[in-house]
Structure 1
């Protein structure tokens, strides 16, 4: 067997594998004998089918399978031995001029295109400066959080007249240009949350309504052309929601109001372990601490985004773009040319970051321990539980859920890659110069959205 490599560009190469009968004959013979022992064919006792019979019936398909297995093993071993860092996967080159008889005596030549990872340096230093924000809880943010908690544990009532934070339950009907109900148009019984209505004048028209009242409004204006929200409200596709031009008529069937829970001991004990919070002042202090802990994560996420952009701007290198596009098409049969061209820039950006991260890990001997992966899995699971309940689950339960989660290979790989990325960010944080700056949550939210 002979294997060679020819560079066809700075980041492209063709690997050629030549195989003769001596390279594959023993593998093929063994595969035929193994199948003969397992075969169940009419006229033969189990395990007594002659190998020659199997060769006549299935020989060519067995030969093809063994050649493919040999090629895969040979190619992978060659890449490892030569320490070639390839991007994507090798792509076989089709040569219509080569025709093989597959008669167990052929000599074969196979060619594979590969895209090679570029060489580069990570030139990040203390001369690079970024801002690390210390987010403080402002009165508005604290009040909003407490309000949401009180509503979460409040009770539903049905007042006679609607107010700003109420929910109107009723029928929404699509109207024609003349104001009449559009025949065959959209009609849906739904709940309209007034706190989600974006236009203040339309929101004002929905306040003060009672059962059986009727009001007409521009649904696109009401929700600031938010197709996803309009689609959910009307139970239609987002594309259809985006194209809607009609006004809608709402006929109120009921007014629902979620009354806020009282700030009493029963409420405190629902949020925190019984007896740990006994006064409104202690409650506000605890909620402030929780919010500030959450905001540390927000600040870290902002810093990670800034580090990501800083490094990608500073570390410049090319990719074998044409090869990668062919590889993406070859491995995603349903991918259209338009989708490929539209999505490739983001794919290339993420691939560059992966290459940079891997180099930082290698060059600085960064280690990702199982404890790092387990800890991160627990954090993600805990965050999911907190979306549905402010009460934390026990450490024992959390550990059990995390271990079970990591038994799934795909989930484990995803968390491992995230842990590796966090390790890279921690390394970069220790290299660049961070200037701390205090900021209110409100101002930080505006900054993050800019």
Structure 2
């Protein structure tokens, strides 16, 4: 076998593979003989089918399979042994050659290679970014405390509607003149006051009692959220038509979620037996959890800013035309318009991946299986906690994680996440970080 590489330019090359009969005949003949021993044909005893008969019937397909296997293995081995850094996968070149596949052919195959560019992006103390230190302000702490207490509270049915309640009532669609719209919407449903955005509409609901009637209620203006309106009015989600009309509202019931008392039973449910014993300890614990969440939010923003900043520094050229062809082969359902529209983002991400890989190599950053396992376990734990108040045991969580990582796609995704985190942690020690304190409300506006 003979493999040669011809560089077209710094970003493109062609790999030529020549396969002679000596490269494949021995293995093909062995495969034919093995097939003959296993084959059962009328007129022959089991295992006694002549190899020549098998070759005549199935030899060509065996030859094609073995040559393709030999070709694939040889190309991959050549690239690895010669340490050729490629992007995407080798693409077979279109050719007019038609092989006879007669067991004596010399085969010549050509592959296009997209070569990785030289990465010369460097980071130093001259690179400066803002690192936000988010402070737990009183309003955020109060809101978080309220939400937690309500999560463990109980449902009541008060006499009068107050802010934060849920009004359960009948909504009947009206004509412009205030009469009932014949054949219009007539639903009995729930309206949460916390999604009512119009101040005057909210004011008209406060103080209502069961069987009270609001003769003309502008629900669309009050809520001003299409998804919520579809849910409230029970509209067709596939083809919703939001009515631009008012409704007659009759209150049928009032639901209120009362906040849990700050007592030992509540503390134990939330944190475990006797972990927290006083209101002061409860506040300190909630503050600690908020600070941890806000640190994650701040790190997420810094990582995003670093990606944006680093991507702007990574201006190296890519084998664009090769990559577009490869993307079309790898994603046959992608249209040319979709490819053209999304290619720049793909190229931007690819450049940053090359920068990350260079940092990992130059700094000898180790990505251990233990890191991947623990990261995957943390992600799964967070998902399970969203749907169940009872946490899984360490043994159960470990089993789920092992199963999760058996899927190659999952393992690759978590590996990339760990790699990005390692690079992020390293770069934080290299670039200059301008630490800036900021309130959570102002930080959220930055995010938006």
TM-score, normalisation: structure 1:
0.89
* 1:85–1:150 distance in 2 versus 1, CA, 3 Å: same
> Whole-Å Cα distance in 2 between the matches of residues 38 and 248 of structure 1?
78
Q: CA deviation at 1:161?
A: 3.6
Q: How does 1:95-114 map to 2 (within 5 A)?
A: 95=95, 97-114=96-113
Aligned to 1:265: 264
Residue 391 of structure 1 deviates from its aligned partner by 6.8
TM-superposed CA distance for 1:147, in Å, is: 0.6
State the match for 1:82 in structure 2.
Answer: 82
Paired with 2:223 and 2:348, the residues of 1 have a C-alpha distance of: 34
* Gaps in structure 2 of 5+ consecutive residues: none
Displacement of 1:398 in angstroms is 4.5
Say if 2:119 and 2:354, in contact at 8 Å, map to a contact too: no
Matches within 5 A, 1:18-167: 18-95=18-95, 97-167=96-166
Change (3 A) 1:258 1:311: same
Q: How many residue pairs are counted as aligned between the two chains? A: 446
Q: Deviation of residue 351 (structure 1)?
A: 1.5
Matches within 5 A, 1:47-446: 47-95=47-95, 97-170=96-169, 190-211=189-210, 213=213, 221-224=221-224, 226-233=225-232, 240-241=239-240, 244=242, 246-247=244-245, 249=247, 252-388=251-387, 398-446=397-445
Question: 1:22-61, CA deviations, whole angstroms, 9 ceiling, x for partnerless residues?
Answer: 2221221122122222223333333222211111111111
Contact 2:314-2:352 within 8 A present in 1 as well? no
- After superposition, what is the alpha-carbon deviation per residue over 1:99-158, rounded to whole angstroms, capped at 9, x for unaligned? 222211222221212211111212211011122222111110111111111110111122
Counterpart CA distance in 1 for 2:228 and 2:83 is 51
Q: Please report how far the alpha carbon of residue 240 of structure 1 lies from its aligned counterpart in structure 2 after TM superposition.
A: 3.5
Judged with a 3 Å threshold, the aligned counterparts in structure 2 of structure 1 residues 239 and 357 are, in CA distance, closer, same or farther, namely farther
Conservation of the 8 A alpha-carbon contact between 1:137 and 1:291:
yes
TM-score (norm: length of structure 2):
0.89
Go from structure 1 to structure 2 and tell me whether the alpha carbon gap of 1:87 and 1:190 turns closer, same or farther (over 3 Å shift): farther
- What is the alpha-carbon root mean square deviation over aligned residues? 2.8
Residues 184/217 of structure 1: CA separation in 2 closer, same or farther (3 Å cut): same
- Cα shift at 1:232: 4.8
- SS at 2:8's partner residue? strand
Distance 2:209 2:62 in 1: 78
8 Å CA contact retained: 2:262, 2:279: yes
Alpha carbons of structure 1 residues 19 and 270: separation in structure 2 relative to 1, 3 Å: same
Structure 2 distance, partners of 1:45, 1:162, is 89
Which deviates more, 182-191 or 424-433?
182-191
Matched-pair contact (CA < 8 Å) for 1:329–1:335: yes
Kept in 2: contact 1:157–1:257 (CA 8 A): yes
How far residue 396 of structure 1 moved from its aligned partner, in angstroms, is 5.4
Note if contact 1:39-1:47 (Cα within 8 Å) is conserved in structure 2: yes
Aligned partner of 2:13 in structure 1 is: 13
Following superposition, the deviation at residue 357 of structure 1 comes to 0.7
